[in-house]
Every structure is written in structure tokens, then in C-alpha cells.
Amino acid sequence: MKNNTLGSLIWLRITRFTHQSNLLSNEFLKQFDITTAQFDVLMQISTYEPITQSELAKKVTVTQGGISRMLTRLEKDGLIKRKQDWKIKTISLTNKGREKLINAFDAQLAFQSSFFEESLTEEEQKTLYSLMSRVQKNSEMKMSDR
Amino acid sequence: MKNNTLGSLIWLRITRFTHQSNLLSNEFLKQFDITTAQFDVLMQISTYEPITQSELAKKVTVTQGGISRMLTRLEKDGLIKRKQDWKIKTISLTNKGREKLINAFDAQLAFQSSFFEESLTEEEQKTLYSLMSRVQKNSEMKMSDR
DNA sequence: TTTTTACACTTGACTAATCAAGTGACTAAA
DNA sequence: TTTAGTCACTTGATTAGTCAAGTGTAAAAA
């Protein structure tokens, strides 16, 4: 077993950061009685509603099965509604869901941003964004040609 | 709802990348009959063995409960062994676990690195590493003072 | 000596995701 | 008109994690 590569060190940092910031974010969002994953889904619905489940699944990069269960939970909490239109199901926010999202939106974005604003300058954040964009696009490409 | 901040855009890229690269990595590691999370744990055990469960939990940034379940799975597969020493349990690799890790190690590190090597220059990778290190350390700090 | 405290670990209830097999409804070929 | 196919969605089995309450053992206090 040879030594750690630069790439594997970056990978570890990114993985750890994602895990930690997710935990902190879930803790933060508890005041709105919502999780990070749910916030993500609600955001996408509010942007694209009315939207089908399969389209939504693609937007949040989750499988059909994953989105099905997630929506079941959100529906149970009364945040979204599914309507059987023809043979597909159309998703939209309920008033309760819309309210919850509006309440959480600014706070959550500020919270997410704080991770970077606290540790990097504006210039460095721009650099990080451009580097991560390229890395992420590359992995997206790898996903599609499987 | 005001517009997206720079930080929230970075956050999205990082989150998506982590999710995608994890899926791809799990797919890749199937040839070794192991998952990304398991590889991570085996790596830490091999570096620090013999190690207690609570120490290990800290190394892989997972809760006590999480590591307990993970080790149950790894033990069931015969990759690690737990020994009740005094009142604490000491974890170490079995021969099977050590072999599996040695087999997968180089390939997995090369796989992880490929994400960055394919999309960034050596110089850019160094920049990304230094930026992500600072961001991750900041989130680690936030984790500890809760 | 009994009782409390502290620590290491486990477990139950839950969220969130995967894959793969299973429904249910409409569409097109036999 | 029956049959086969396709598409959108659901569901069962599994992995992986959280939190919080529970268990068992050893040391310290009563």
C-alpha cells in the first residue's frame, strides 16, 4: 500500500465536510421542523411546480424509489400534495409547505454560506466555486455515461 | 426569497459531487465486494489497530451507535474482530479483512484521485486541497463547540 | 458493604438512500 | 380483441446513519 495521493486527501476533506455540515444543517433546521434533505426537495418543487416525480428525482439526483418515499413523508406532514393527472403524478406545495419554505429560506442560505464566509475571502470563494463546478461537472458526466 | 448566495452555490456543488462520487465509488468497489463506507472504516482500523470503538467512531466522524452497527456488519462478513478486553472492545482486522483492504487500496485511491486529476491541473488540485482543508477545519470547529 | 456514578457499548425508532422486482394504466402490434 | 410493451410510480430488502434510552461493568462515595 503506497502513500496517500493528493486526490484522496481532497476527497477525504470534502467527504468529511459534507457529513459535518449536513449534521449541523439538520440541527439548524430543527427550528423549522424540517431536515436538510426535505429543504432541498421543497426548494426544487417550489422552483418547478407543478412537476412530475421522475423530473423531480432528476433535479435532486435521487432515484425514483428515493423520491417516492421522500414525498410520502412530506405528504404525511402536509407540506406537498400529489395529484393523479392522467397516469402521472403531479407534485406541488401546499400552503403549509410554501410557508415553511419561505420561513426557512433566507436563514438556511445564510447558514450554508457561513461555512465559506467564515473561512475564506470573497476571492477564494469564487476560486472554490469555479474549481468545484468543474469537478462536479466531471462527475456528472461520469454518471451519465455508465 | 432573495437570490442565491455564492456560498449556497458552492454548497450545492459540493453536496452533488459528494453524492455522485459516492455512488460511482460504490459501483467501483463492487468488484471487491465492499462499500465506500466500509472501505473508509477498514482503512482507519488498519492504520490504528488495535483501537476501541469510541476512538474509531471519532476517526470516521460517526456516532457510537453508527459505528456499533457498522462493525456488526463487518464482523458478520468476517472482515474484523471485536475482542472484549477488560470492559472495552478492541477492534482489529482479520486476515480476510486485511487482504481485502490491500487488494482494494491502490485501485480505490486511484479511483478517488481520478475525479480531480481529470478535471484540474496539479496546481489547481493543491489550491482546492488548501481551500477545502480550511473549510473543513472550520466546520469541525463548529461541530466541537455545540 | 451497598449505592451511585461513569463509561463503553447496544438497541429501538426513525430518516434517507440504493437496487430490483412488482403494480397499474395506457399504447401498439398480432 | 387479445397480448405484449412501455412508462410512472411503489415497495421489499438492505446499507448507513441519527438520537436517545437501555445494559453491563468497574470504580468511587455512602
Confidence label for A96 from pLDDT (cuts 50, 70 and 90):
very high
**Residue-wise pLDDT tens digits, A20-68:** 999 999 999 999 999 999 999 999 999 998 899 999 999 999 999 999 9
CA angle B85, B88, B94 (to 5 degrees): 65
Q: Which three cell numbers stand for residue A42?
A: 421543497
Letter for the amino acid at A95? N
What is the rounded distance in angstroms from the CA atom of residue A26 to the CA atom of residue A143? 27
To test the contact with chain A by mutation, choose from B3, B18, B102, B123 the residue with the greatest count of A C-beta atoms within 10 A, namely B18
- Under CATH, to which class is B14-144 assigned? mainly alpha
Residue nearest to nucleotide C20 (CA to C1'): A65
**Residue-wise pLDDT tens digits, B27-78:** 999 999 999 999 999 999 999 988 999 999 999 999 999 999 999 999 999 9
Q: How far is B76 from chain A (nearest CA, A)?
A: 25
* Phi and psi torsions of A81, nearest 5°: -130, 145
Residues whose CB falls within 8 Å of the CB of residue A48, separated by 6 or more in sequence, listed in order:
A55, A56, A59
Q: Do B17 and A136 touch (CB under 8 A)?
A: yes
The domain locations on chain A are: 33-113
Q: Do B1 and A132 touch (CB under 8 A)?
A: no
Residue B120 scores a pLDDT above 80: yes
Count of other CB atoms within 10 angstroms of residue A76? 9
Which residues in chain B touch residue A41, judged by CB atoms under 8 angstroms apart?
Answer: none
Architecture of domain A33-113 in this structure: Orthogonal Bundle (1.10)
Which residue in chain B has the smallest CA separation from A131?
Answer: B128
